[in-house]
Amino acid sequence: MLITWNDILTVLRKIVDISLVWFIFYFIIKNIRNNVKLSLIFKGLLIIIVLKIISDFAHFVTVGYLLDYIIQWGPIALIVIFQPEIRTILEQLGRNQLLGRHKVLTVDEREHMVYELINAIDYLRKERIGALIVIERDISLGNYIDKAKKLYADLSSDLLIAIFYEGNPLHDGGVIIQGDRITCAGAVFPTSSSPKLNRRLGTRHRAALGLAEETDAICIVVSEETGRVSIALKGEMLYNLTLDDVRMLLIDELKPKQDVDTDDDEDEEVVEEEIYEKDR
């Protein structure tokens, strides 16, 4: 049996077709996992589907009728209610970070980054200077960067302290770090309306949690009133952290996502030891 060009093209079309479907599902699941609101929507849809299956199996007429009505009009309601989240996903689709962080930091770069951040945070908390420092990861923050003051400067504790100094016009906004560089300052983020957030906390904490609910960014907050350090991550707010807590969290979260071998584990231990020595 001879294989013709048409047979080869048919196989290639099927491969491309399956690959595109796989990529779409991968992108959707990735964004659902990193977005608290979208994950709640996904869970709600799963519950509705399960209830629909149960109602059809048990012949629940009234419940089945209500579920049919929800399934019929639900997508339109979701589009209207969650229009900002849908727009964010579509914007991310056109950016360059669909397959991961724009830059994987080396061990030395991560060591330098954590060291400079810890030094800046230590000074800011002692002097009761409010700050919001955001570290971009897989989900692009380009839409916030576009509206902020561009810097594109090397990361240093002195620069972070200068930005958040009260006399600086950019001190009220947030700083965004991409890789090991400060991309912008004065960034404005959406505030969270989560009832779990303490009402005494100010705009910085609400902005940090709001961004952490929609992206996978690491959002570090220094309170202007108390000097306490908090981190918003994966839709949760971690309060009143020590410098050691912040250091260990950053070291862990900034690791590359790829599987690491024994040599990489040894490198991470070296990073932790060297950072400890420098802070002494």
CATH number of the domain where residue 121 is located = 3.40.1700.10
Tell me whether residue 39 is in a domain: yes
Which band of pLDDT confidence, cut at 50, 70 and 90, is reported for residue 112?
very high
Distance CA 236, CA 213 (A): 8
Q: Quick one: DSSP state of residue 146?
A: T
The answer to whether residues 242 and 122 belong to one domain is yes
Per-residue pLDDT tens over the stretch 190-216: 898 887 777 778 889 999 999 998 888
Global pTM value: 0.65
The answer to whether residues 50 and 113 belong to one domain is no
The answer to whether residues 148 and 209 belong to one domain is yes
Residue 182 above 50 pLDDT? yes
Tell me whether residue 135 is in a domain: yes
- DSSP lists the bridge partners of residue 131 as 222
CA atoms within a 13 Å half-sphere pointing along the CA-CB vector of 113: 25
* C-beta atoms surrounding 12 within 10 Å: 10
Number of domains in the chain: 2
The answer to whether residues 54 and 176 belong to one domain is no
Which band of pLDDT confidence, cut at 50, 70 and 90, is reported for residue 178?
very high
The answer to whether residues 55 and 194 belong to one domain is no
Q: Give the residue among 106, 107, 102 at the shortest CA–CA distance from 178.
A: 102
The answer to whether residues 64 and 188 belong to one domain is no
Domain finish residue from 93, 125, 151: 93
Per-residue pLDDT tens over the stretch 17-42: 898 888 877 777 766 666 666 677 77
| Higher-confidence position of 276 and 65 | 65
Distance CA 263, CA 20 (A): 36
Tell me whether residue 101 is in a domain: no
The answer to whether residues 74 and 112 belong to one domain is no
Tell me whether residue 100 is in a domain: no
Residue 146 CB-density burial (10 A; 0-12 exposed, 13-18 middle, 19+ buried): exposed
Distance CA 3, CA 42 (A): 44
Domain finish residue from 34, 66, 93: 93
Tell me whether residue 99 is in a domain: no
Tell me whether residue 134 is in a domain: yes
The answer to whether residues 38 and 149 belong to one domain is no
Domain finish residue from 32, 58, 93: 93
- Per-chain mean pLDDT for the chain: 81
The answer to whether residues 89 and 142 belong to one domain is no
Which band of pLDDT confidence, cut at 50, 70 and 90, is reported for residue 67?
confident
The answer to whether residues 181 and 271 belong to one domain is yes
Give pLDDT, residue 50. Answer: 87
The answer to whether residues 145 and 274 belong to one domain is yes
**Where in the sequence is the domain holding 215, given as residue range(s)?**
107-279
177-202 mean pLDDT: 87
Most confident of 21-35, 37-51, 68-82, 240-254: 240-254
Distance CA 213, CA 53 (A): 31
Lowest mean pLDDT among 27-41, 57-71, 161-175, 198-212: 27-41
